[in-house]
Chain A
Amino acid sequence: MANDLNPLRAEAHVERTPDPCTVVIFGASGDLAKRKLVPALFNLARERRLPGGFSIVGYSRSPMSDEDLRALMYEAVVRFSSSGPPTAAEWESFAAGMFYCQGGYDDVAGYARLKARLAAIDAERGTSGNRIFYLSTPPSLIGPIMDTLGASELARSAPGSWTRIIIEKPLGYDLHTAQELNAHISRIFDENQVYRIDHYRAKETVQNIVAMRFANGIFEPVWNRRYIDHVQITAAEAVGVEGRGGYYEGSGAVRDMLQNHLLQLLALVAMEPPTSLEANAIRDEAIKVAKAIRPLAASEVDTHAVRGQYTAGWVGGKAVPGYREEEGVSPTSTTETYAAIRFGIDNWRWAGVPFFLRSGKRMTKRAAEIAVQFRQVPMRLFTTTEADLHEPNLLVMKIQPDEGLTLRLAAKLPGHAIHLRSVNMEFRYGTSFGVRSSEAYERLLLDCMFGDATLFTRRDMVETGWALMMPILNHWAASGEHNLHFYEAGTWGPEAANQLMGEGRAWRRL
């Protein structure tokens, strides 16, 4: 890395900055750019993580000047920056590197203008031909944008510089479309240029899974089928489809959450130790364990997977409509707003240990966590009365809303008699480290500038995820309403999901 040659960086507080570059945002006038991307870039600038001369070019169909884009983004940063609004001086210097280029997404002339603008920025601001193309656009535009980038020779880098492309989910609608999309990408970009965003991976606790497992000697010896009874991975949302009923109708809980985010979490919890922290070393281990997950046969889907859909209910102190009453949703929709799946992993470490994944909308509250439930002690020495309410040890990695770790232990109640209770040891990021964690998009954008793909999803992981989900999706698609379980909004999902767990196990109340 070039920065390693800078002797003034020795023990600097801010470790290093990436190579000077320009981020081109396709869909610059859209919601994602305003809510997430530009505020994230501004926060990085404020934290001195961006290189000098760093520039942004917004590209979209809307007619706009540089000044218009700057004004639009100023409002966005004031509203959405997690580090607070900019001062006049901060904004003046940040906005000086922000430009706009108007054009259609398959308009060769528009891309020629973009190319000329990028060349001028390279000369004026020293960005050295390094570019990131961020596709903040609907999935239908990914193909035309990539084709036109290819045709305009913007997908290739000049010698000594680099070009990368960031793609948002959904990465396909099913295995077939994902394969098609990947094949399309690979005709224009090399795999090492492609950064598929999974913002879940950039959360502090998700990264901490790797640190917790492999930097602490106490966990690895018990991290296997001998000591672990089962693992529950949950991503619960209290919100409904929030006006995006039309989009969600074509998606559902499996496509939206399980196929990507929850499967990634499973892989991080279950993978073998990587040989290094290099991106492909971690991703190689993740894909290995994902490939060891036993795919469900069509005949197994009803016993290993449950789908649900919320009906009208009560969430956050107010009445909410059922899914079929949401705007843009068919009154006979069978789209699942809740899904729970039981997977097994066929390898020596995990044979016989079930992994339960669940995600749903309009659940009791917003919470995401991984709970590793250990086995009961071999002999229940202390169970003398029903007052002994202790349960097996449990390690919970909380992802949101408050990130941290909890370890449940059994302890004796004070007094002469031996009565046990479960007690929790807690570590919370917000309490122990009173500093702001980076927003997921800040981390991901910076990693992409550094060329670090650890937190991005590789092609094989995307396709493996889809391959695991297809038997379930196909079975449900062919079943009509047959196995669709309804649950009242504001609850923890359909009762049928409890039956997945089997004897002696239950979903955690979060």
Chain B
Amino acid sequence: MGIVEDIERRRPVDVAAIERELTELWKAAAEAKDGAATDAVMRVCLLNLLVFITDEARFGEVSEVVAKVTESAPCRAIIMHADLSRTATETHAWIASHCHLDDQMRQVCCEEIRVAASGSAIRYLARTVAPLIAPDLPVFLWWQDLQTLQEKYFLDFLPEVDRVIVDSRGLTHRDAQAAQLARFVLEARHRAAFSDLNWTRLTRWRDLIAGLFDAPDLTHYLHQLTRVTIFYARDEEASGIPLQALLLAGFFAAQLGWTLKDAYQVNRHQAELRFRARQRRVTVTIEPQVVQGLPQRQLSEVVLLAERPDMARFSVTCHPSDGADWLYTPAVEISGGARYHTTIALPQLTEARLMSREVEIFGRSKPYERALRMALDIITELELDAQFD
């Protein structure tokens, strides 16, 4: 698996004739193989993956991501570039293919269509692309520009797609886009479901933390938690609490039925959130940690404490390994009881890996929406606190 080969890179085509050109491309690919049936190219398509970019330099990176995604989810990819700096109304298209070898060393190929638009053509991008979507298959739209979510040319896509994927990576509660994104996702009545790669980055954290409480003997501690600390890799440059950490705090609160009482910033990088749970208070602290080898603002450790009736400590720590993986260590320490930890090596969260995960999911994610709603409440509370200061 994993051998990527371009049969024909960036073959320019007439937009109106893309389907015909694709047929020609596959015919040429099959003829190029010129041999036994076992050598034939297999064209497979499970879904449509639309990608919107505004930076032409991203074409290559996105194409690499698409190539990786096709290994686990063969798809028709349509990469759209909107050149916002040019006023001339133009549309150009290219076709290419992504091929990899499957476990039987057969060549499995998927097609990539690139569309570049400028001027007024951007406004009609959805009209240009809609006929190119393979019918009867799910449509995923990876929208890489958070600033254009209110634009008509984005909104025109919503009836055409099943799932919109954005990425709030790097945003903190101080970025206006963070709250705007949350409101847009939560308040509008979209046919399409929304998801955020920043939420997907939390998936393994959620899995590992949930796993700490699966044992029937330990599940009850979820309802006795009193203190949660979410650590993230420090970023000296940035100011504000990373949205990713807020999403995780929001997830805990929403899933465990906590009510937000107040939230304040301890300093530029640290916040304390106070919740009320049934019969007790829960304090969530989000604070930076100096960690070598992890991307800035990525979560590095989560510690959950239940201080009564006996002390129970649950934690998941992430640290880099000698190789390419990250090591995650979930640990349980019950005073006077069980103490154990496990260490699991998991690959780094590249965009390709995240997207491969994203295209497995259909429909709305209730936990995401609940976590986002709570994160928005926390942001609002932090903003209020800042105003009083």
Contact = CB atoms under 8 A, between A and B. Distances in A.
A428 interface: yes
Given A7-B255, A46-B344, A93-B341, A430 B103 contact: yes
B340 interface: yes
Given A52-B211, A53-B332, A8 B255 contact: yes
A119 B210 CA distance: 26
Nearest to A55: B340
A10 B332 contact: no
Interface in B250-278: 251-252, 255-256
Interface stretch (B6-14, B28-36, B199-207, B284-292): B199-207
Q: Count chain A CB atoms within 10 A of each CB in B210, B215, B251, B334 and give the residue with the most.
A: B215
Contacts of B339: 124
Interface string B120-157: 00000000000000000000000000000000000000
A509 to B, nearest CB: 15
Contacts of B256: 7-8
Contacts of A92: 343
A20 B215 contact: yes
A16 B214 contact: yes
B214 A17 contact: yes
A6 B210 contact: yes
A10 B255 contact: yes
Contact of B343 (A14, A18, A89): A89
Contact of A124 (B251, B252, B338): B338
A2 interface: yes
B72 interface: yes
Nearest to B371: A10
B310 interface: no
B246 interface: no
A51 B337 CA distance: 17
A5 interface: yes
Nearest to B329: A93
Contacts of B217: 20, 126, 128
Contact of A51 (B106, B108, B214, B222): B214
Contacts of A327: none
A351 B216 CA distance: 50
A126 B340 contact: yes
Contacts of A430: 102-104
B191 to A, nearest CB: 20
B367 A10 contact: yes
A398 to B, nearest CB: 11
Interface residues of A, number: 44
A435 interface: yes
Interface stretch (B160-168, B237-245, B319-327): B319-327
A62 interface: no
A90 interface: yes
Interface in B98-118: 100, 102-104, 106, 108
A2 B216 contact: yes
Contacts of A17: 211, 214
B72 A5 contact: no
A466 to B, nearest CB: 37
Contacts of B46: 432
A92 B72 CA distance: 31
A52 B340 contact: yes
A124 B333 CA distance: 10
B345 interface: yes
Nearest to B330: A52
Nearest to B314: A52
Interface string B209-249: 11111111111001000000000000000000000000000
Given A90-B344, A430-B104, A126 B215 contact: yes
A434 B340 contact: no
Contacts of B208: 48
B44 A89 contact: no
Interface in A3-39: 3, 5-14, 16-20
Nearest to B106: A431
Given A6-B214, A90-B345, A431 B102 contact: yes
Given A52-B211, A87-B325, A402-B104, A12 B342 contact: no
Interface string A195-234: 0000000000000000000000000000000000000000
A11 B367 contact: yes
B207 A14 contact: yes
A46 B327 CA distance: 11
Contacts of B367: 10-11
A124 B337 CA distance: 7
Given A52-B330, A87-B325, A124-B338, A13 B44 contact: no
Interface string B324-365: 010101101010011111111100000000000100000001
Given A6-B222, A8-B210, A128 B321 contact: no
A128 B214 CA distance: 13
Interface string A408-419: 000000000000
Q: Which of A14, A18, A92, A433 has the most CB of B within 10 A?
A: A14
B203 A48 contact: no
B42 interface: yes
Given A7-B256, A10-B255, A434 B102 contact: yes
A45 interface: yes
Contact of B72 (A2, A6, A48, A434): A434
Nearest to B103: A430
A94 interface: yes
B71 A434 contact: yes
Contact of A126 (B103, B218, B219, B368): B218
A125 B338 contact: yes
Contacts of B345: 46, 87, 89-90
A464 to B, nearest CB: 36
A121 B189 CA distance: 53
Contact of B44 (A10, A11, A125, A432): A432
Interface in A83-98: 87, 89-90, 92-94, 96-97
B3 interface: no
B111 to A, nearest CB: 16
B347 to A, nearest CB: 11
A52 B210 CA distance: 11
A18 B215 CA distance: 8
23 contacts: A2-B214, A5-B216, A6-B213, A8-B209, A8-B222, A9-B214, A11-B368, A12-B206, A14-B207, A16-B214, A46-B345, A51-B214, A52-B332, A89-B327, A90-B344, A93-B341, A93-B343, A124-B339, A126-B218, A402-B104, A428-B104, A431-B74, A434-B108
Q: Which 6 A-B pairs have the closest CB atoms?
A: A126-B338, A2-B216, A8-B210, A430-B103, A93-B343, A434-B72
Given A48-B211, A124-B340, 17 more contacts: A3-B214, A5-B219, A8-B251, A9-B210, A11-B367, A14-B211, A52-B211, A52-B212, A53-B338, A87-B323, A89-B321, A90-B343, A90-B344, A93-B344, A125-B340, A432-B74, A434-B100
Interface of B: 1, 42, 44, 46, 71-74, 100, 102-104, 106, 108, 203-204, 206-219, 222, 251-252, 255-256, 321-323, 325, 327, 329-330, 332, 334, 337-345, 357, 365-368
